[in-house]
Structure 1
Amino acid sequence: MNKRRIGDKYEEIAAGYLLSKGYRIVKRNYRTPYGEIDILAEKDVAWIFCEIKFRSTENCGSPLEAVDRRKQRRLSRAALYFYASHGYAEDVPCRFDVIAIDGSGGICHVENAFEFQI
């Protein structure tokens, strides 16, 4: 199975998880000039920008460690692009979540995983 198909599989699992928690999935794989947002969701009048990470083992680190400062900056810029291209003011609340899925299928959802990065 190639990386894209593996990613799609675990993004589908994450989307199902979010739906079960009352989130509304707005867009998946939202592409911007600054990178892709895996899942764009809404909950409690806030935009939720979700990064989904899967690791079958922790040989290369945990899924959460994979969302480093560089990735955080890229996601922040993609979110800013989303706001600008859809006419949202900067005071519309948002947050950055990371959903980590491990090889056994365990899900770890970290809300507000990081602050906006420039």
Structure 2
Amino acid sequence: MYNKRVIGKQYEDKAKDFLVEKDFVIAEQNFKCRTGEIDIIAWNKNYLVFVEVKYRSTKGMGLPEEAVNFYKQKKITETARYYMHKKGISVETPCRFDVVSILGEDIQLISNAFEAV
């Protein structure tokens, strides 16, 4: 049976492992609040990184990263601001927004994929 939540969780876990191999320190996974959800929040060097994970089995519906449209970027940005406020993280903290794109079994990190909206 095809269950999007189960599949999504599996690929988010793959993305998390991939990031850890690249020296990211995971702070949170699946942070949710009323403004939205962020798949992975991690530290990479001195950056607080908000990561969106997108998976596609084939290119039939486009590349995974293409699904991170302006609306999705806005929701992630709002949620990131709330997270920083809730955790008492200074607005001076260097941050970036990355996308982990998974196409089939190919995993790619798109660092600094978009600016805060």
Segments of structure 1 that go 5 or more residues without pairing to the other structure are none
The answer to whether the aligner puts 1:89 opposite 2:90 as a matched pair is yes
Deviation string for 1:46-88 (max 9, x for gaps)? 1110000000111211101000000000000000001111112
- Paired residue secondary structure (1:6): helix
Q: Percent of pairs identical after alignment?
A: 41
Q: Which residue of 2 aligns with 1:36?
A: 37
Segments of structure 2 that go 5 or more residues without pairing to the other structure are none
- Paired residue secondary structure (1:59): helix
Q: Which residue of 1 aligns with 2:76?
A: 75
* Structure 1 residue ranges, 4+ long, deviating more than 2 angstroms after superposition: none
What root-mean-square deviation, in Å, do the aligned CA atoms of Structure 1 and Structure 2 show?
A: 0.8
One-letter identity of the residue aligned with 1:92: T
One-letter identity of the residue aligned with 1:108: Q
Q: Which residue of 2 aligns with 1:21?
A: 22
Taking the aligned partners of 2:109 and 2:46, their CA distance within structure 1 comes to: 19
> Normalising by the residue count of structure 2, what TM-score does the alignment of the two structures yield?
0.96
Taking the aligned partners of 2:106 and 2:14, their CA distance within structure 1 comes to: 11
Q: Which residue of 2 aligns with 1:109?
A: 109
- Paired residue secondary structure (1:91): coil
